[in-house]
Structure 1
């Protein structure tokens, strides 16, 4: 092979156009061992992000298949098309495949965590009698049918955990770590609801207190993230109507007198307006009190009554009196 020609070949060229020598890669002549036995984080400066797409590789298919079987953090299958770079160890190469990121996208607000015991036996995290997570060596097997909510199973060198978000009161329960057939540890999750009493700073509520109030509860998770919940309540302060004060009325005998009752609605709005005359039992309904032909006997005190009905069927009422002094001819 012409080394100069090979080094200048573009990795975007068709495979048939890339010169390469025929080599019999007989694996029965080699003792091939897996390059890596566990997941590791690789600094970006160690990774060739583009070169892995160029050239050819001698591949042990079993090693490649085992490596792509599942992400060790989230147990989701890996795909070669998601490769983001290549790390080289002499003649050996490691393809860096981006894992599914399911765990990093789930903002878990609760994690049930157990210290990982030193054992080669299978380990289980159970909620009551249901196995949520199974840990076999470095493999993690969640059982999504064991609990009617979304959760993730996680492990590292020191801890095993099951995590979930949007914690509810129904998530309360007992969790167990089982090693083999032996209960190694247990813990209880007790989810308490936070109360949010609404208090108005005045001893007596005024109409200006009507409006929307939002109760906000916050807590800080062990991860440092903040959890929030809120509830809105509408306050509608009810109050009676009001009546504008009257001036003394001095009609001339024989004329017509109309006395308007100027009412400002309360909450709810006014349901009735009527008039009474002090010393008399009769009522006059309507906003205006009219005397068609004023007589001196009409002198006296008149009262305008305005009422509204509250939501509990009680009443709000306003009264305003006016004095009528008839002037004689």
Structure 2
């Protein structure tokens, strides 16, 4: 059996280390963000990223140290597990170079950066050409990287695009002037385009333009200025001169042809010529022709003045010469009075019977197709007596709530009138301020002014106006259209459960007004406490009563007066209602002394007590009878606006419906019989012509019979009213016309 022996040998091969190098290329483009990444080896030590021979980044023990001074642009360094990177933005063509990684001063990897960039276009500048010629211009450029380049032209603010390196424009127009852009483009490997452009300014030169000139037909012996309107060309420096057909030489220079003291020989054909000079030495020019035709227009005589009396015949005339004959028109203001054709001599206008309002200025115009609207004026004055411009013999003025009179009366007269304003009885006016002002030769404005009118200022006045040719009497009425004046002389008296109010009406004529008494316990919130009183008699005294007053209360009362233009209130009066005290019989404590003494004392007291009650009751009955009689007399003596009060006795027999029961009627009849005799003998108390409306007793009056506030009053009297809040109070404002109904 064979035996195998194995010998194991370990062989160690010694060799020098080899640096593995990796070359690569990175392509970027101008303006892009670029990062160059290099593999990180497993070697230990200090790592570097270099551009050419300059170290940009140092990586040591996990920390990164960029060297900003190594490159003249901003950059950043980054380290990851497997790569080392240097990054920068807005890449430029000059950034192209080789980047490498170095470990312990030994290069391991390198990358070459290639930057793609657009072509460049040479500066184009300004190019000139002349209108009507053909323009051609070539764009010069240097290729970029990649070198393949596309070139085209485009005009600013236009959609036109011209392909090719050469711009060609045949038959150039002045509108072709402007900026043209040459664009050169290449395409990067990323698909993006690199583009560069340059602007060329095209200056198209052209002649000035002369606007058409109208033919001129001037009058003989006048001056003529004919303007030549020229639109400058390019260049805009323009030379303007004038020529005449059949005449050698220049008749004038400048934009206006001036012919002084023109004559018939100046007629003919003229031309205005405008020129400018091109950059090439040539000239641009334009011209317009027109004719001057010298003719004779109308000539009118000087102004004339005519004065006649009212009713006389007035003939106005003016001399007119013209060739050919003229069309003549007579005007007064904007009104055409008459037209006359083919007038060459005298034109006239006749008024058969002149009136006061014919005074004024008359305008005469003449036209003959050569010269239009030559004019002169003729003045006519008609002597006349004063009168109102509006006709009639009366005027009426209405004065509102401000009680301020400022009115105007228009008067027609020639010459200027005198005037006086008096009262109907001939007494002079001392309140109304009057002045007269001149509007025109026969028109005058008389003003009447007065502030804070008083009642006595209203009424009818007599205005006398006169001049040398007559006089006129005018009735002037000043009528109020304003809220009433406040009531005056207000007197208030308060008794148990009621108050009596007396006042003098502020009514002074014209529009009927209505009053009502209001009361308040705080002098702030007033309510209406009576029915409405109609006032239509001047300065009449009225009286009414307010019921349902509470004992022990202080009241404030006022009178409110209303018409269709507003309301006013009187001054506030106040009164107090005293408290009623019940007399209670206190039982006397009797000390029993003896039975007989007590009985005698009680009997004596009973006799005295019943005697006192008998006489007291009889006296009260007599007093009540007298009060009742006086009340009937007072009611009969007052007007129909007073309201009958109810005594406690009358109230006792009033049913829920407001009528007296049989017992009360009997008592009332007995009292009436007792009073009748004294009333028949007393002539001061006569029956009121308008019977008073019977009232229900105060405690039975339904709430709606009294007015809670001024709005309800106005609604009842006028139909509707609007109010506003003022100082916490409701105030009526606009009151419509009252209904035709009594209080």
* Correspondence 1:249 to 2:234: no
* Corresponding residue number in structure 2 for 1:106: 91
* Correspondence 1:286 to 2:254: yes
* Corresponding residue number in structure 1 for 2:171: 204
Do the aligned partners of residues 251 and 163 (structure 1) sit closer, same or farther apart at CA in structure 2, a change above 3 Å counting? closer
Task: Give the secondary-structure state (helix, strand or coil) at the position aligned to 1:321.
Answer: strand
* Corresponding residue number in structure 2 for 1:214: 181
8 Å Cα contact 1:270/1:306 also seen in 2: no
Cα shift readout 1:15-63 (whole Å, capped 9, x = no counterpart): xxxxxxxxxxxxxxxxxxx9x9678xxxxxxxxxxxxxxxxxxxxx973
Do the aligned partners of residues 279 and 78 (structure 1) sit closer, same or farther apart at CA in structure 2, a change above 3 Å counting? same
* Corresponding residue number in structure 2 for 1:305: 273
**In 2, Cα distance between the equivalents of 1:267 and 1:299?**
34
8 Å Cα contact 2:118/2:185 also seen in 1: no
Cα shift readout 1:302-325 (whole Å, capped 9, x = no counterpart): 111111112222211111111112
**In 2, Cα distance between the equivalents of 1:242 and 1:207?**
12
The alpha carbon displacement at 1:69 in A equals 2.8
* Corresponding residue number in structure 2 for 1:273: 240
RCO higher in 1 or 2 (8 Å CA, sep ≥ 6)?
1
**In 2, Cα distance between the equivalents of 1:62 and 1:247?**
101
Do the aligned partners of residues 219 and 242 (structure 1) sit closer, same or farther apart at CA in structure 2, a change above 3 Å counting? same
- Note the residue ranges of structure 2 that are not aligned, 5 or more in a row: 1-16, 23-41, 65-76, 101-105, 121-140, 152-163, 297-322, 324-743
8 Å Cα contact 1:212/1:232 also seen in 2: yes
Do the aligned partners of residues 311 and 246 (structure 1) sit closer, same or farther apart at CA in structure 2, a change above 3 Å counting? same
Do the aligned partners of residues 225 and 162 (structure 1) sit closer, same or farther apart at CA in structure 2, a change above 3 Å counting? same
Do the aligned partners of residues 270 and 78 (structure 1) sit closer, same or farther apart at CA in structure 2, a change above 3 Å counting? closer
Task: Give the secondary-structure state (helix, strand or coil) at the position aligned to 1:281.
Answer: strand
8 Å Cα contact 2:220/2:294 also seen in 1: yes
The alpha carbon displacement at 1:77 in A equals 3.9
Do the aligned partners of residues 75 and 245 (structure 1) sit closer, same or farther apart at CA in structure 2, a change above 3 Å counting? same
**In 2, Cα distance between the equivalents of 1:170 and 1:230?**
12
**In 2, Cα distance between the equivalents of 1:290 and 1:211?**
39
Do the aligned partners of residues 244 and 171 (structure 1) sit closer, same or farther apart at CA in structure 2, a change above 3 Å counting? closer
Task: Give the secondary-structure state (helix, strand or coil) at the position aligned to 1:208.
Answer: helix
* Corresponding residue number in structure 1 for 2:407: none
* Corresponding residue number in structure 2 for 1:17: none
* Corresponding residue number in structure 2 for 1:229: 196
* Corresponding residue number in structure 1 for 2:58: 79
8 Å Cα contact 2:149/2:185 also seen in 1: no
* Correspondence 1:63 to 2:44: yes
TM (norm. structure 1) is 0.51
The alpha carbon displacement at 1:101 in A equals 2.6
* Corresponding residue number in structure 2 for 1:321: 289
8 Å Cα contact 1:268/1:309 also seen in 2: yes
TM (norm. structure 2) is 0.24
**In 1, Cα distance between the equivalents of 2:57 and 2:215?**
93
Count of residue correspondences: 208
Cα shift readout 1:174-225 (whole Å, capped 9, x = no counterpart): xxxxxxxxxxxxxxx978895732244xx42222222111121211122433
**In 2, Cα distance between the equivalents of 1:105 and 1:271?**
53
Cα shift readout 1:233-275 (whole Å, capped 9, x = no counterpart): 1112222111121222112222211111111111221421110
Task: Give the secondary-structure state (helix, strand or coil) at the position aligned to 2:212.
Answer: coil
Task: Give the secondary-structure state (helix, strand or coil) at the position aligned to 2:270.
Answer: strand
Do the aligned partners of residues 231 and 85 (structure 1) sit closer, same or farther apart at CA in structure 2, a change above 3 Å counting? closer
* Corresponding residue number in structure 2 for 1:240: 207
Do the aligned partners of residues 278 and 308 (structure 1) sit closer, same or farther apart at CA in structure 2, a change above 3 Å counting? same
**In 2, Cα distance between the equivalents of 1:72 and 1:282?**
84
**In 2, Cα distance between the equivalents of 1:205 and 1:222?**
41
**In 2, Cα distance between the equivalents of 1:72 and 1:292?**
90
**In 2, Cα distance between the equivalents of 1:171 and 1:64?**
46
Do the aligned partners of residues 86 and 317 (structure 1) sit closer, same or farther apart at CA in structure 2, a change above 3 Å counting? closer
In terms of fraction of residues, the more strand-rich structure is: 2
**In 2, Cα distance between the equivalents of 1:248 and 1:310?**
32
Q: Which of 289, 296, 312 is the aligned partner of 2:264?
A: 296
Do the aligned partners of residues 74 and 165 (structure 1) sit closer, same or farther apart at CA in structure 2, a change above 3 Å counting? farther
**In 2, Cα distance between the equivalents of 1:321 and 1:314?**
23
**In 1, Cα distance between the equivalents of 2:45 and 2:186?**
45
8 Å Cα contact 1:71/1:100 also seen in 2: no
Q: What do you get for the CA RMSD once the two structures are aligned?
A: 4.4
8 Å Cα contact 1:218/1:227 also seen in 2: yes
**In 2, Cα distance between the equivalents of 1:193 and 1:74?**
38
- Determine which structure has more spread, i.e. the larger CA radius of gyration: 2
8 Å Cα contact 1:76/1:100 also seen in 2: no
Do the aligned partners of residues 134 and 247 (structure 1) sit closer, same or farther apart at CA in structure 2, a change above 3 Å counting? closer
**In 2, Cα distance between the equivalents of 1:289 and 1:76?**
85
Task: Give the secondary-structure state (helix, strand or coil) at the position aligned to 2:45.
Answer: helix
